[in-house]
Amino acid sequence: MGEPSHHEFEAFLTRVEPGLRRALFSALGLDRGREATAEALAWAWEHWRRVQKMDDPTGYLFRVGQSRSRTKRTPAIFVRPEWREPVVEPGLGHALQELTESQRTAVILVHGFGWHLREVAELTGVTISSVQTHLDRGLKKLRATLEVDDHA
């Protein structure tokens, strides 16, 4: 088929890119998330006719970005530069790095960006109860790592 219409694709980007970027940054960290977003959107451009027919292109592109940016077990890095005043708990970056990718994605999207469990489930292709489990385990691990007593 012919080349995609720039107008159609730009409208698609406006609708899909912000959520896709947040999800991939949440799951993979800043550098790999940036690369994964670019890879996913490049794939969408190359396969535009196929993408147009998808019910859930964001979820599919999330998985494309993950797989196309996969490297040899390079951990995601969530460390703020030393020279900046921390806006959040200073140890949060390291603590997030210690979570599994699924836990980190659930925690950041739900608590960082205000997504609903259903939205995270649709994006990642798992059940809502799985997202809840990843969220609960991720928060428990964060509290333990940061030595936060949530019963105080």
What digits encode the pLDDT tens for the residues 118-138?
999 999 999 999 999 999 999
Domain boundaries, the chain: 1-76, 78-152
Residue 61 pLDDT greater than 90, yes or no:
yes
pLDDT of residue 94: 87
- DSSP assigned state of 71: -
Q: How far apart are CA 21 and CA 40, in angstroms?
A: 10
The packing angle between helices 30-46 and 6-28, to 10°, is 150
The CA-based angle 48-38-18, given to 5 degrees, is: 85
Can you give the pLDDT at residue 81?
Answer: 53
Q: What is residue 76's predicted lDDT score, i.e. its pLDDT? A: 55
Give the confidence band of 78 by pLDDT, cuts at 50, 70, 90: low
The highest-level CATH class for domain 78-152 is mainly alpha
* Strand, helix or coil for residue 86: coil
Cα–Cα distance for residue pair 112/76, rounded to 1 Å: 17
- Phi/psi of residue 133, nearest 5 degrees: -65, -45
For residue range 30-58, what is the model confidence (pLDDT) as tens digits? 888 999 999 999 999 999 999 999 988 99
- With cut-offs at 50, 70 and 90, classify the pLDDT of residue 147: confident
CA distance 120 to 62: 11
